Copies of this chain bind each other. A is one copy, B any other.
Amino acid sequence: MFKLLKQSKKSQARLGVLKTAHGNIDTPFFMPIATKAAVKSVTTQEVKNLGAQIILSNTYHNYLRPGLEVFKKIGGLHNFMDTNLPLLTDSGGYQVFSLSDLRKIKGDDIEFKSHLDGSQHILNPKKVIDIQVAMGSDIMMVLDECVALPTTRAKALKAVERTTRWAQISWDYKNKLNQKSAKINKQLIFGIIQGADFKDLRLKSVKEITALPFHGFAIGGLAVGESNKVMYQVLDYTSPALPENKPRYLMGLGYPENIIEAVKRGMDMFDCVIPTREARHGKLFIRTKQTLKGKFYKTINIINSKFKTDQASINNTNLKNYSKAYLHHLFKTEEILGMRLATLHNLDFYLQLMRDIRGAIKKGEL
């Protein structure tokens, strides 16, 4: 399922291939985000054309809208979004804790009110699997409890304990479903490590979660308000504790330099709204150097008036026929096409970054 192809001698960076029901994915990779079953402003085909190997979509949002009945009728998220790329869906845990109102945990049930209409809902480890089965995700994530940083040891411990209990429930339930359906059996399932920035709790979580033979392991509870320093420290002791022969997913990260630092610490999978969200605000990532060392990119704000008559192409890859002046104009006039072109640009930047990272590991340079 996961094949480790190369281990860097300069760092913990590694090359591998992850096999899913919808094809193989070269690691390390970045997942563009289709929060509500759409990568904002672009088609899945456009994302694929840029070299994306997989797309991430959000269970919480998809559960509320369009809802389970639609996925059951339409036959899953691939068909709904029109893509044959592998899809990873998160567990909804992060959103239920950050977006919904009035949540209460009763036993293993999270009771919450929809942030959209206040309607009452329950998520629990089994239901989260059921939703991801209905969506037909290639990689499903278990329900976990993610706490924002900084936090207390007591809260972090409680989250670790709950996350472990839910992981066991999820694993058992998924295995029961596997017996019933060859299709479900092909859906991979990943466990999630919690523990905030407490080393002993992270290692406790690693020990408990990796005791279950999940197809991969994610580090959750990072990129939740902490400094880069704290994040790298947590990675420094958590990542090496994870099994070498399974893919490692750092959830919700990040800026290009964060991704490189995490790759160096042995992480294989990334997702982040940064390229797409910042694109919609006119912020473009621009490579300034071929190398990945030091300051190899800059960001520009295309809305800045200095671009008003800038004839230079937006980039020399996918948008070479459009000038910066045109993109500036589209943002000034609030034309939707501007968000779309900027999104295509930033996704191209991130996907090229990942190709360069894989190339650098291959050449023994990272």
Chain A: residues with CB nearer than 8 A to chain B? 36-43, 61, 65-66, 69-70, 73-74, 79-82, 308-309, 311, 321-323, 325-326, 328-330, 332-333, 335-340
Q: A37-B326, A74-B311 are in contact. List 5 more A-B contacts (CB 8 A).
A: A36-B335, A66-B325, A66-B328, A69-B309, A70-B325
Is B337 in contact with A40, judged by CB distance below 8 angstroms? yes
Residue of B nearest to A79 (CB): B323
Residues of B within 8 A of A79 (CB): 323
Is A309 in contact with B340, judged by CB distance below 8 angstroms? no
Is B70 in contact with A337, judged by CB distance below 8 angstroms? no
Q: List 21 A-B contacts (CB under 8 A).
A: A38-B330, A38-B337, A38-B338, A39-B337, A41-B335, A41-B336, A43-B337, A61-B333, A65-B332, A66-B329, A66-B332, A69-B309, A70-B308, A73-B309, A74-B325, A79-B323, A80-B325, A81-B326, A82-B321, A82-B322, A340-B340
Is A336 in contact with B335, judged by CB distance below 8 angstroms? no
Residue of B nearest to A45 (CB): B321
A335 is contacted by which of B38, B70, B322 (Cβ under 8 Å)? B38
Q: Nearest 9 A-B pairs (CB), nearest first?
A: A82-B321, A41-B336, A36-B333, A38-B335, A66-B329, A73-B309, A38-B337, A336-B336, A80-B326
Residue of A38, A69, A81 with most partner-chain B CB within 10 A: A38
